[in-house]
Each structure stands twice: as structure tokens, then as C-alpha cells.
Amino acid sequence: MIVTPQSMSFSQPLALRSGASIRDYSLAFETYGTLNADRSNAVLICHALNASHHVAGSYAGQPDSEGWWDTMIGPGKPVDTDRFFVIGVNNLGSCFGSTGPMHVNPDTGKVYGADFPVVTVEDWVDAQARLLDAMGIERLAAVMGGSLGGMQALSWTLQYPRRVRHGVVIASAPNLTAENIAFNEVARRAIVTDPDFHGGNFYEHGVVPKRGLRIARMIGHITYLSDDVMNEKFGRRLRSAVAEAGNAPDGVDLRYSTQEIEFQIESYLRYQGDKFSEYFDANTYLLITRALDYFDPALQYEGNLAKALARATARFLLVSFSTDWRFAPRRSRELVKGLLDNGRDLSYAEIDAPHGHDAFLLEDPRYLGTVRSYFERIGQEIGS
Amino acid sequence: MIVTPQSMSFSQPLALRSGASIRDYSLAFETYGTLNADRSNAVLICHALNASHHVAGSYAGQPDSEGWWDTMIGPGKPVDTDRFFVIGVNNLGSCFGSTGPMHVNPDTGKVYGADFPVVTVEDWVDAQARLLDAMGIERLAAVMGGSLGGMQALSWTLQYPRRVRHGVVIASAPNLTAENIAFNEVARRAIVTDPDFHGGNFYEHGVVPKRGLRIARMIGHITYLSDDVMNEKFGRRLRSAVAEAGNAPDGVDLRYSTQEIEFQIESYLRYQGDKFSEYFDANTYLLITRALDYFDPALQYEGNLAKALARATARFLLVSFSTDWRFAPRRSRELVKGLLDNGRDLSYAEIDAPHGHDAFLLEDPRYLGTVRSYFERIGQEIGS
């Protein structure tokens, strides 16, 4: 499936939860499949921290440019673009095409940098709703996302209950735990205290706070993987091939160094950190982790999640993964309970998968089969 | 109990596992209680990353200077200094009095800095054994430690089996998992990439890589606490008192900031990081986390832990804590199984405690009671 990114500009100010507003912004998006005559087969995909509007397919002439959820979405795939019109949109504040901190603030004529307004999950949903308005889509067959994307999908069902038939919330949570916030905070401190951050205005200094971004990404990667899969993939294996082949059983091949790489897991993390620091925007990292921290639909209901979810009228598919310790199954069960307390119609699958939080992006037949079945049901409902 | 730190110098070179050696070093230590006539009541306490020889009691005129395991050790306490002669020793490479990276290398006349040799758990045990030699203690009633200290206690029973009656190994593991190493590596990268680290020779630049130390400590603190206790202590509570008191149920008291503190957990972590960066040495942090990474007594036995433990002749008390995800109970159970496979005499207590890895330093009546009973048995054995 060859796809082409698009962009839409919005001149009217969008009021944000912080009290600020943003105007003259644009959203990058992609669509796959065909909107049917009664405009009932649209599926919106919401992305997590490090993803974009490029959800599925490849760009012409770039065979390795598959979208981040290409296993899930495309012709004949679980979310079948032969039946559904699928929309991916890059969120405000991100760094893959939509207006973000690296763009010019129309109020000042200068690059936003640290002055880019704080955006919340709710703000993103509002911006996505405007995009759908412009596309003439009144009601979504489904809104779907994993992790932070799942929070957006959930928030859609609360902010625009009548515009959503189905909410598909994968590897997500009703809010972050203290530990989740703690990991975000360490990553942010690593970025903010990098001397190359310059208070968020590093663009004008011609530098990038790569040290901080590397640390942030390394922390992220640890929390995306399960302890088990890390042990299986890396264990205590040394980077040196000799020891790896078992030829150095007495440990003679150890380097005894505090700074050189000794274990394969170190090599992996450094590589992931380096790669990330080459392309990800530091201010975007702060904004997106903060949106995660702030998301808490029960806050206005004295922490009563069932009350917060009472607004939702959609039907739901929720999925969690047994070894996900970032957004553990018990967090999805909180959502299940809150929805059941309101008598909502839902399906819940707890997938026994070894990969931790990352599992939501991987090919697991039970997982993909569950989503496929659910979307077949949606297709039948809307006659698509 | 008023205590006084002591120091002992060693001129003879100590051969290290790396192949290097260290000479003209000194060890800071403290002792509590009285060595009995047949020198049979000595208990060695081994410390973890951020602790020292100051295990128990207080310094004269400094009532708030209690040792790090003062709940455990002292007159009438579980390790009763009215019966036992307890020794605390600061490890080589640490920053609390023993020779470390901030001291002068006798070979060069310059501060060691990054040139301080890599030290292993086994090297520390060798250095501790020399200290005991100098004190005229041939055999320990017990060697005891938690976390990295537990690794040293275990290693004592393998390196000097005839010198140890009892090994008390608390909240420890036979080696680090890939995830454990990963957290250490991120912390080390934060320190090493801090521009103030200067390749480990920051002393001569008159600076300290505080940014890196702060990040390292924040990561550490997350892994010391359980998710549950973090939720209980901090949850999603905001730093602002108004919101905390429940007067801002609609979230109006949110600051909507990516850099200011919003949640109490952020405030806690920043405080811990700041405090740590004021006193802990960056090179010591690298050395001690590396000693953790390297510890793996089964390495020479093709990963067969039971074979590795066959050398031990001591009796053992092992303790783990249910919510410790850094050194989880299953890691202690690996040790239990390896010892039982060799027919060793051991007691194992898995304490149901909410505090995570930190539990080994806290007052829990079942935990302290277990250790008390075990040391009463040791006391009876040696007639002390």
C-alpha cells in the first residue's frame, strides 16, 4: 500500500485546557482506504509518544518506510482498509509534520521553543475532531490507539460520545501511576538539564540536547520491555563475541571497564538512545510526556472513574498484555470495571504475551485475531 | 551507642580480578560491641551502593548521625552488640573514607579519577578479609548484607568458606538481570555524558557532574520503591496544597508546565537527586554499579548456580521482600534452590512488605524478628 502524507491548516484559534490557545496551526495526516457514501466507515488511529500520522503503508520509492502499525492496518489486515477508511493524524506539539515547538509562533514571529503551549490529551482530541469536521466525518466507526493513543481513544468517547461508535483502547490506563510519572520526570530532567537545551530555545543556538534525549530514550526502552524479554533477548550476554560463543567460561574476556560497553543490553540501549536523539525533538518529548501525566478523566469526579466514564456511550474493545508493567493489565481492568459499572457493552482481552508494553506494536496472532474479529463485527454493523 | 570511625592502612598490593592491583590503600571501618576471648563473635556487615562503614550508633555530639542499619544493629537489637562484635567497613572505591577515585594514586602522584581500578565484589571481600586478618579474626560468626551487601556476604561463603559460620543474605540476587544492568547503564551514561564529568577527571576542573548524579539517583529511587508504595506515598497528588486539600476538584490548580513541578513525586525525586549530588562521588557511582553488574558466581560454572554454590559450607539465612522488583523474591529463591541442591542448611523468609527493595533498610517487625531469632541461634552456637 503506497501512501501519501497530507496536511490541513486551521486558522481559527483552538482553546486549550491550560487556558492558552493556538492559532494558524496545521495537522499532518494520512488516510487509507475509501470513505463510503454515508461516511460511516471512518476509523481514527491515535498515536503514542514516538509515532506519527504515518500509521500504515509505505511511501513511494521507499520500501522500508512502513507505518508504525502496518501489521495492524492495511488491505486484508485486522483493521481492513478494503472496508474501512482509516485516518492517522500527527498530534499538535509533535515533531513529524504537525505544528510543534520547532515552528514559528504567529504571535511573535519567532520559533515557539519552550513557549509552545502545553497540550493535553483532551486538546488533541479537540484538534482531531476539527480535522474530522473538515473531512465531513460526523461519526467514527471506531477510534483506536495503544498506550497514550489508547488514552486519546478513551477521551474521544468521553468528549464526543455521540461521534464514536466504538472505542478500541489497547495497553492503556485511566491515568499514570506515581511510578509512571516518575519515569517521565527523570527523562524530562535529563533533557532540561542538558546544557544544550538552553531553556528549550536550543534551535537558535544551532544545537540539540542529545545527551538528554539519549537518556530519556534509554529509560523509555527499559519500561517498554518486560524483564523476561530483556533476559531472553540480552540476558547477561557480553558484547564480545568470544565470550558469547562460550569460549571464555572463566570470564577472561571481561574488559573490566566502567565506561566501555560490556553487556549486550548496554549496546542495545546506547544504540536506541543515539538513534532517537538524531530525530526526536526535545520540546516535543516534554510536551508529550506531560500530556501523559495530566491525563486523568476521573480528576473532576473526585477520582471516581465509574462516574467519569458515565458519559461514554460507545462500545469498547480493551486489550492488555500480561507482561506490560508500564500499563499493566490491572490498569485496563480498572477501565473495564468502570465501564461495566455503567452497564456498557465491552470486550476485554488480556493477552498472554512476553514482550511487555511493546507487545501492542508487535505481531501476536491472538492479539491481531482479537482486533480482526472486533472490526469484522463493526464492519457488519455499518454494512461495510 | 556512641561510635568512632577508624581507619587501617595496607601497604601490600591487593591483586584485583581485573588483573590490576592497588597498593597503599586504607579502609575506613567501625566496630560495635566487644570481641570475645576466643574471637568467635565477630559479625561483618557489608554495605550496598550508597552506604558506608557507619552501620550503627551515632557520632559524639551528632545525635542525628545514626548509622544506616541502626534499626538492625546495636545493644538489644536483632544483631545484638551486647553479644556480637560487629564490624562495618567502607569498600574500596567508595567515597566515605576508604581509598577511592578522589584520592592520590601512589604510582602517579595524581588523583585517581577515572584511573581508579575497577573493583569487583570478590575484590572487596579480599580486602575485607585482610582487614579481619589484621584484627586477628580468623572466622566470622556471620557475614551479613542487603542488596549489593548480600552479594558480598554470599561471595564470602564462596571465597573463604572456612572463615564464615553463617551467611545472611538479604534482598539480594545471584547476579543482575538484563533490566538491572540496563538501569545501571542509564545512570552511568547520565554521569559520563555530563559535560562536568571530564572523563572522570572532574576534580582537577573544580566541578562535579551533578546533573548526571541527580539523574542517576532519581532512577535509583524509582527502582528502590514499589509501585504500590509510590502510589500510597505520592499517588497523583499535586504539589500545590490547595489541590491536595481537595479544594480544586476541577483541576483549576494545575500549572500546565513541562518544567515546573506539578506532582509530589516529582518534588520528591528532585529533592533526592539534589541531596545525593551534593555528597556522592561520580566515579564511585560508576565503580559500584559496575561491581553489581559483574557479580555472577555462576559464570565460571557455565551458569550453573548450584555448582557455583557447592564451595559454600556456611549455614544461611536468606530474606526477600514481596514487592521488591529490583531483587525480586524469585532471585532469592534461585539462591535457596542452589544451596538446597548442595544439601546446605538454610532458613528462608519471604517477607510480605509493601516497600519494595527499600524494605531491607526499614523497620518491619516480622523481618527484624526473623533476623533476631537467627542471631539468637548463632549466639547460642558460639556460646556468646
Taking the alpha carbons at both ends of chain A, their separation in whole angstroms is 20
Which residues in chain B are closer than 8 Å to A259, comparing Cβ atoms?
114, 188, 192, 200, 286
Which residues in chain A are closer than 8 Å to B189, comparing Cβ atoms?
214-215, 218, 270, 273
* Contacts of residue A206, Cβ cutoff 8 Å, sequence gap at least 6: none
Q: For residue B249, what pLDDT is reported?
A: 47
Contact state of B211 with A194 under an 8 Å Cβ cutoff: yes
Q: For residue B179, what pLDDT is reported?
A: 97
Contact state of A227 with B189 under an 8 Å Cβ cutoff: no
A47 is catalytic: no
Spell out where chain A has E strands: 2-3, 6-10, 14-15, 21-22, 25-32, 42-46, 58-59, 73-74, 79-80, 85-89, 140-146, 164-170, 315-321, 346-351
State the average pLDDT over residues B300-306.
96
| 3-state SS track over B8-32 | EEECCCEECCCCCEECCEEEEEEEE
DSSP state of B350: E
pLDDT digits (tens, 9 = 90+) for B156-193: 999 999 999 999 999 999 999 999 999 999 999 999 99
ipTM: 0.95
Of all residues in chain A, the one with the smallest CA distance to B261 is A185
* Nearest partner of B56 among B80, B39, B91, judged by Cα: B80
Q: For residue B327, what pLDDT is reported?
A: 98
Per-residue CA distances from B86 to A23, B54, B133, B164, B384 (Å): 69, 11, 15, 14, 13
Q: For residue B250, what pLDDT is reported?
A: 47
A324 is catalytic: yes
Of all residues in chain B, the one with the smallest CA distance to A282 is B258
Per-residue pLDDT of chain A (384 residues; tens, 9 = 90+): 999 999 999 999 999 999 999 999 999 999 999 999 999 999 999 999 999 999 999 999 999 999 999 999 999 999 999 999 999 999 999 999 999 999 999 999 999 999 999 999 999 999 999 999 999 999 999 999 999 999 999 999 999 999 999 999 999 999 999 999 999 999 999 999 999 999 999 999 999 999 999 999 999 999 999 999 999 999 999 987 544 454 544 445 899 999 999 999 999 999 999 999 999 999 999 999 999 999 999 999 999 999 999 999 999 999 999 999 999 999 999 999 999 999 999 999 999 999 999 999 999 999 999 999 999 999 999 998
Selecting among B80, B123, B296, B324, the annotated active-site residue is B324
A118 Cβ under 8 Å from any chain B Cβ: yes
Q: For residue A240, what pLDDT is reported?
A: 76
Selecting among A155, A332, A357, A384, the annotated active-site residue is A357
A277 Cβ under 8 Å from any chain B Cβ: no
Selecting among A221, A324, A332, A358, the annotated active-site residue is A324
Q: For residue B253, what pLDDT is reported?
A: 80
Give the SS3 label for residue A344. coil
Query: 496551526: which residue's cell?
Result: A25
Contact state of A222 with B189 under an 8 Å Cβ cutoff: no
Contact state of A256 with B17 under an 8 Å Cβ cutoff: yes
pTM of the shown model: 0.96
The partner residue sitting opposite A230, judged by closest CB among B178, B249, B299, is B178
Average pLDDT, chain B: 95
> How does strand A79-80 pair with strand A73-74?
parallel
Contact state of B188 with A302 under an 8 Å Cβ cutoff: no
In angstroms, the CA A94 to CA A92 distance is 6
In angstroms, the CA B266 to CA B236 distance is 10
A260 Cβ under 8 Å from any chain B Cβ: no
Residue A58 grid cell: 509505505
Contact B215, B187 (CB under 8 A): yes
Closest-CA distance of chain A to residue B27, Å = 22
In A13-72, the residues whose Cβ lies within 8 Å of chain B are: 17-20
Per-residue CA distances from A297 to A123, A125, A156, B128 (Å): 13, 13, 11, 56
In angstroms, the CA B358 to CA B324 distance is 8
pLDDT digits (tens, 9 = 90+) for B236-256: 999 874 444 545 444 458 999
* Nearest partner of B319 among B363, B356, B358, B360, judged by Cα: B360
Maximum distance among all alpha carbons in chain A? 71
Contact state of B269 with A185 under an 8 Å Cβ cutoff: yes
pLDDT digits (tens, 9 = 90+) for B26-84: 999 999 999 999 999 999 999 999 999 999 999 999 999 999 999 999 999 999 999 99
pLDDT digits (tens, 9 = 90+) for B4-39: 999 999 999 999 999 999 999 999 999 999 999 999
Residue A346 grid cell: 465491552
Q: For residue B239, what pLDDT is reported?
A: 87
> How does strand A25-32 pair with strand A79-80?
unpaired
Which residues in chain A are closer than 8 Å to B290, comparing Cβ atoms?
257-258
Name the residue type at position A168. V
In angstroms, the CA B65 to CA B83 distance is 23
> How does strand A79-80 pair with strand A315-321?
unpaired
Maximum distance among all alpha carbons in chain B? 71
In angstroms, the CA B378 to CA B372 distance is 10
State the average pLDDT over residues B121-134.
98
- Residue A195 backbone zone (phi > 0: left; psi -120 to 50: alpha; other: beta): alpha
* Nearest partner of A382 among A25, A16, A19, A42, judged by Cα: A42
In angstroms, the CA A102 to CA A104 distance is 7
Residue A216 grid cell: 530519556
Contact state of A17 with B256 under an 8 Å Cβ cutoff: yes
DSSP tally for chain B: helices H, then strands E: 11, 14
In angstroms, the CA B120 to CA B117 distance is 10
In angstroms, the CA A152 to CA A163 distance is 14
Contact B29, B5 (CB under 8 A): yes
